[in-house]
């Protein structure tokens, strides 16, 4: 399994844990009846802030729907959404927006009347009472996908919106920030379907997206993959895996699984030998150092791993599991470094 797939599946597990935690709060507050199969709909109001990145990475072929752990029904529904969009010459970004919307609203399941919130129906949880169509029409995935794209493309400058905000502009959810977390999974679903040529449709126009950056390969790629695969495991001070980690222990473990024993163990030791990397020039596998002078210890008290520029994986602190999270390279008190080969001993020659 590639590290990209591991990251997507880990994100899905994170979303499910977050939804479960939210349900606990709602039930305690007497709001449990508002739970949807595809997410929480508690009638929360608010507006979404547009992302500064208004395009998505163009999908990359080579990842199948099976690898993304979609069952037959989910795969068929996703294929319908993408195929309808292709037939309408919807740009790649629009396909991603639609899949992200369906992931949030129904987990790509064609929910029957009564399975969703109030009179919501189908993949996008559209409601007859909101003039989306009749019950019979909304039970048809092709109709819902067509309706989604019709509303999306009627929005002025919709391609200048983030995936989250474009989906929200169509579906008008009570949770206006719910669609963004599905963006990368949606991108890979679109990639899998278009690469397979399902439905005989041609590939979508290469507009509304940007070419993805180079991902790590070789030992660095393996190290990143291993680190990402640990998402959800607990933080334990002094632990170096395989079942728990502290921040530097995750780095040590990931490199060991990639075939190298580090000669350094703590975040401070790693910082002392790392080659400095200018902010904004960091690459997958580079380290992020922060929390200077914490607990009276000189040097950085925390270390994280760059997954891709703008995204990191870390073992944060007691009470928080290993997680993937965004970061800003302009954040105060953060520096980047790259471990030199002199700090690594190939396991084949390690004593």
Whether cis (ω within 30° of 0) applies to the bond prior to 186 is no
pLDDT of residue 80: 96
Please write the tens of the pLDDT for every residue from 6-40. 556 655 655 555 544 443 333 333 333 322 222 22
Band of pLDDT at residue 317, cut at 50, 70 and 90: very high
Band of pLDDT at residue 154, cut at 50, 70 and 90: very high
pLDDT higher than threshold 70 for residue 314 = yes
Question: Hey, is 306 helix, strand or coil?
Answer: strand
Angle at 133 between CA 131 and CA 136, to 5 degrees: 145
* pLDDT-above-70 percentage for the chain: 74
Pick the range with the lowest mean pLDDT from 108-112, 121-125, 340-344: 340-344
Q: Span 181-198, mean pLDDT?
A: 77
CA distance 105 to 122: 9
pLDDT of residue 47: 33
Closest CA to 161 of 113, 107, 93: 93
Is 52:88 a contact under the CB 8 Å cutoff? no
Pick the range with the lowest mean pLDDT from 56-60, 233-237, 297-301, 320-324: 56-60
Q: Span 124-140, mean pLDDT?
A: 92
Question: What's the predicted TM-score (pTM) here?
Answer: 0.52
**Which is it for strands 56-57 and 209-210: parallel, antiparallel or unpaired?**
parallel
Which is more confidently placed, 163 or 77? 77
Is 271:321 a contact under the CB 8 Å cutoff? no
Which is more confidently placed, 53 or 113? 113
Q: What domains can be seen in the chain, in order of their start residue?
A: 3-15+29-210 (no CATH), 218-346 (3.90.1720.10)
């Amino acid at each position: 399994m590639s590290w990209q797939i591991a990251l997507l599946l880990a994100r899905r597990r994170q979303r499910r844990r977050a939804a479960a935690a939210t349900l606990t709060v709602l039930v305690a507050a007497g709001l449990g009846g508002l739970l949807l199969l595809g997410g929480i709909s508690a009638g929360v109001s608010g507006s979404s802030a547009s992302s500064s990145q208004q395009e998505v990475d163009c999908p990359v072929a080579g990842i199948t729907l099976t690898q993304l752990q979609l069952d037959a029904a989910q795969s068929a529904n996703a294929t319908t959404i993408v195929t309808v969009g292709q037939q309408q010459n919807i740009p790649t970004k629009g396909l991603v927006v639609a899949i992200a919307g369906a992931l949030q609203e129904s987990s790509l399941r064609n929910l029957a009347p009564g399975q969703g919130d109030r009179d919501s129906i189908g993949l996008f949880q559209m409601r007859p009472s909101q003039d989306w169509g009749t019950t019979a029409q909304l039970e048809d995935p092709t109709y819902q996908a067509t309706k989604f794209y019709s509303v999306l493309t009627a929005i002025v400058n919709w391609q200048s919106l983030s995936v989250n905000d474009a989906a929200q502009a169509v579906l008008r959810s009570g949770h206006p920030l719910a669609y963004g977390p599905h963006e990368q999974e949606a991108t890979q679903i679109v990639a899998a379907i278009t690469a397979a040529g399902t439905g005989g449709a041609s590939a979508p126009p290469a507009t509304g997206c940007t070419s993805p950056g180079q991902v790590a390969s070789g030992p660095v790629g393996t190290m990143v993959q291993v680190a990402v695969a640990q998402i959800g495991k607990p933080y334990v001070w002094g632990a170096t895996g395989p079942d728990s980690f502290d921040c530097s222990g995750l780095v040590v473990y990931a490199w060991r699984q990639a075939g190298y024993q580090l000669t350094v163990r703590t975040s401070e030791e790693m910082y002392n030998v790392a080659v400095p990397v200018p902010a904004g020039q960091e690459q997958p596998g580079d380290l992020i150092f922060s929390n200077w002078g914490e607990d009276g210890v000189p040097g950085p008290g925390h270390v994280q791993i760059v997954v891709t520029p703008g995204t990191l994986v870390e073992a944060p602190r007691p009470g928080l599991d290993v997680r993937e999270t965004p970061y800003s390279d302009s954040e105060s008190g953060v520096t980047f470094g790259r471990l030199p080969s002199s700090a690594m001993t190939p396991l084949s020659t390690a004593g």
